[in-house]
Structure 1
Amino acid sequence: MIFSLFKNRRSNRRIVDRQYELLTQTARQPIFYEALDVPDTVMGRFEMLSLVLILYLRRTAKSERSGQEIAQEIIDAFFQDVDHSIRELGVGDQTVPKRMKKLAGMFYGRLETYGKALDLKDEDALAAGFRRNIHPGGKGEAVENAPVMVGLARWAATTETFLLDMTEEAVITGSLTLPLPQQQVQP
């Protein structure tokens, strides 16, 4: 009996690894960086992976318990990945927890902001959120010169609808896929 628990954990690990890989592959697609104004930087990639995970989490929130458990493991894998990436960038061990806390706050803030816009089906509010977060206008940069992010907002809204139509089987087997922007029909 106890051995079946270990078997289930290994099976879940494979599911989580497969699903996380599918999600990260989506977030790394060049079209987001080349055509949809996401900067191809460390923070741009963080923003894109965060968006993909937010869309995934919104879908799995409507899943059975097993789908929600897998989603939690994927979020854990995401933060482990972020921690590893910060360390690879040369951030010292003393500073990593502070950076992780900041990045986690950023992620959950985006989850709330983007979630509200998606709930209202307000692509303009979603685009404004992307513009603020993806192009924050640092030193000397004017936010008003940032891209409008309408294409990314349209992709996110369409993808959320697409994900809601995905089967529960796809969620619990780690086979949930997201469409790429060029696969969508433009109005």
Structure 2
Amino acid sequence: MLWPFNHFRKPRTPLRGTIEAIYGMIVTQAREPSFYRDLAVPDTVNGRFDLLLLHLWLVLRRLRSVEGGGALSQGLFDHFCNDMDDNLREMGVSDLKVPKRMQAFGEAFYGRTAAYDMALTEGQEALAQAICKNIMNGENLEKARRVAAYAEAAMIALDGIDEAALISGSARFPVPEKVQP
């Protein structure tokens, strides 16, 4: 289980550069304009957060099969938590409210990843429904199907790359607008 507070009790990891590279790859893809322009992902703080979570889930799913993937996954999750904490503080959220917001982020992460994992066992339409609910605010199921097709194409692409490319953060996600359901 990924635990959001492990960074308080663990020394800095030598994997820091690797984790930053992978996280940078995730953030870059989640900011891809075509998600917002062509696939109707809401271009809001919540829409961007949910798309970041989708990509984080995709990479964490792939890291399950990598040697040392557990440590990388935990480090990546910790980096995500630190990034969210930093973003909250930059947005002016008070020190007293940050822990509650971080708890909400954790609940969102676990809820969405559980929904996506469950949907994978039920097929692409179930994944589209989960994406519609979590990313598209329950609207535009047709575009959610395209995002689901993209997510499945991304899983295949991530599964097909070698560990060195993944760990270096040089892996590439598919181009969102080119993936068709």
TM-score scaled to structure 1, two decimals? 0.82
Aligned to 2:109: 107
List alignment gaps of at least 5 residues for structure 2. 1-10
Q: Which letter does structure 2 place at the counterpart of 1:106?
A: A
The reply to whether residue 182 of structure 1 matches residue 147 of structure 2 is no
Aligned to 1:162: 157
Aligned to 2:17: 14
CA contact (8 A) 1:24 1:49 kept: yes
Aligned-pair distance for 1:90? 1.7
Aligned to 1:73: 75
List alignment gaps of at least 5 residues for structure 1. 1-5, 137-142
CA contact (8 A) 1:59 1:163 kept: yes
SS at match of 1:132: helix
CA contact (8 A) 2:116 2:127 kept: yes
CA contact (8 A) 1:23 1:177 kept: no
Report how many aligned residue pairs link the two structures. Answer: 168
What is the CA deviation profile of residues 117-155 of structure 1, one whole-angstrom value per residue up to 9, with x for unaligned ones? 1244x111111111111243xxxxxx4xx1111110110
CA distance in 1, matches of 2:166, 2:154: 15
Aligned-pair distance for 1:183? 4.6
Aligned-pair distance for 1:173? 3.1
Structure with higher Rg: it is: 1
The reply to whether residue 55 of structure 1 matches residue 58 of structure 2 is yes
Aligned-pair distance for 1:28? 0.3
Aligned to 2:48: 45
CA distance in 2, matches of 1:21, 1:15: 10
What is the CA deviation profile of residues 63-113 of structure 1, one whole-angstrom value per residue up to 9, with x for unaligned ones? 112x33222211111111111111222211111101100111111111111
Q: Which letter does structure 2 place at the counterpart of 1:45?
A: R
Calculate percent identity across the aligned residue pairs: 38
Q: Which letter does structure 2 place at the counterpart of 1:19?
A: I
CA-atom RMSD, angstroms?
1.9
Aligned to 1:3: none
Q: Which letter does structure 2 place at the counterpart of 1:147?
A: N
Q: Which letter does structure 1 place at the counterpart of 2:133?
A: R
Q: Which letter does structure 1 place at the counterpart of 2:147?
A: L
CA contact (8 A) 2:35 2:177 kept: no
